[in-house]
Amino acid sequence: MKAAVIVSIVFFILFITAMPMTARAETLTLTLEQAIDIGIRNSSAVKSARLAVQSAEEGVSSAKASNYPNVSLGSSYTHRFEKQTQGGSYLSSSDPVSVSAELSQNITSFGQVKGSVKLAQNSVELTRLDYEEEKRSLVVDVKRAFYAYLLAKESLDVQTMTLSFKEDALRVAEERYLAGLVPDYEVLSAESDLESFKPELIEAENQLEYARLAIMDILGLEVAKENFDIELIGTLEESYHDFEREDLILRALQKNFGIVASRQSISLQEVQNELTKATRRPTVSGFANYSLTSGVDPITGDPRYWGEDSWDGDLSAGVRMQMPISSLFSWSSESATVRQGEIDLEKLNVQLDALESTVKLQVENSLLALEKRASQIASGEKAVELALRLYNAALDRYNSGLITSLDLQDVQLNLNTAQLGYLEALYGYNTALFDLMDAVGVSSL
């Protein structure tokens, strides 16, 4: 009999170990730093922003190409069905072939090329700002989701502990009822309280699952993958920060993405305005062309591709200047574009002033929120300590029959509320800190 049991156990172990990996639950355990690394690596927004930078850099190369010579080659073949003669001689062949090469070089555009290059370079700076902001914003979003998960996990721990307290209270009530010390009302009251609390535990479990799915989505993991789980390592802890208000505001004015991007847009508009004005100036370029045309037999009119006098070459060179005269008049589209650019520049400066005021207010509000949350943490910690002491005292009195289950339930509720409130204060402090990071334009403080 023992041998059969041992054989069954061995076969069971072999069956479990032989199961494919996809049939077992996979658990990914991550610290905050590891979660951030995965999020950046998997983010499609970050990848797209990085490709935008590369595209903008190629735009700079394209703009600079106007400074270099432009070389073109050409060839043509023509078949003439009717050939003209002059004095009995053919002027051209029936199937002439021509080959040409042309070289052109921009001499001066009075700032147009230089402006185009600078405009492209400013575009690169804007895309780099976008790229860095995507990464910074993602880091803060991961932190938010990470701490939301920790809040849900620790809240579930509190609810689980409270449920165990109520189960113990029910067990004590049943024992005292069987001993004839209390009426059945005590048992019914404790059992009703236990059953009424179970939905709270289910809700806490659901919140933890929502937080898990949210962090997986931000990290770019496969949310719908079967038998896949994630566990984040960390705890909600007291962590206070001292900030100098003026220093934070100064950093925000220097680093906030909206402000920096707005200043870059102003610089871009200034370059665009200069480029628009440059289009009203002349452009000077040089060119050279050399062409070869196949010869002709003057008697038969047949093409002559080989031999003496088979090809005739022609070289030409010159300088070309173009001046858009109409653009100098006030009614021209170019003049209207110049005026429009100046208005747009003024509008961008006004928007920058308003944005700076908004960011300063965001910093102020975040600092006030941190102060509020810090005081809530201090009072919440004291409240948990007192509620726990009160619960232990009430539990002793309940076990001794000095108070009823209803009295104990009130104490349990106070302890549960104090513990959850303390966790909310810790989480609220961190979310206020993340808001401050967004306002300043950094991913850590």
Query: Residue 324's pLDDT is what?
Result: 78
Query: Residue 221's pLDDT is what?
Result: 84
- Tokens of residue 445, six digits: 């403080």
| Residue linked to tokens 């908004």 | 358
Three-state SS for 287? strand
- Tokens of residue 70, six digits: 């432009």
Q: Is the pLDDT of residue 21 over 50?
A: no
CA distance 364 to 361: 5
CA count, 13 A, side-chain hemisphere, 40: 17
Q: What is the dihedral of CA 301, 302, 308, 309, to 10 degrees?
A: 50
Residue spans per domain, the chain: 30-68+123-281+341-440, 69-108+283-322
pLDDT in tens, 395-423: 999 988 899 889 999 999 999 999 999 99
First to last CA, the chain: 67
CA count, 13 A, side-chain hemisphere, 175: 10
Instruction: Report if pTM > 0.85.
Output: no
326: nearest Cα among 288, 284, 359, 280:
280
pLDDT in tens, 340-376: 989 999 999 999 999 999 999 999 999 999 999 999 9
- Tokens of residue 140, six digits: 């803060």
CA distance 442 to 445: 7
Angle at 436 between CA 428 and CA 418, to 5 degrees: 10
CA distance 352 to 372: 30
| Mean pLDDT value across residues 11-27 | 46
Strands (DSSP E) contained in 263-380 are 283-296, 303-304, 311-322
39: nearest Cα among 131, 145, 150:
145
- Tokens of residue 411, six digits: 């104490």
pLDDT in tens, 158-212: 999 999 999 999 999 999 899 888 899 999 999 999 999 999 999 999 999 999 9
Query: Residue 225's pLDDT is what?
Result: 53
CATH superfamily for 30-68+123-281+341-440 is: Outer membrane efflux proteins (OEP) (1.20.1600.10)
Contact by Cβ (8 Å): 423, 415: no
Three-state SS for 319? strand
Confidence of residue 84 (pLDDT cuts 50, 70, 90): low
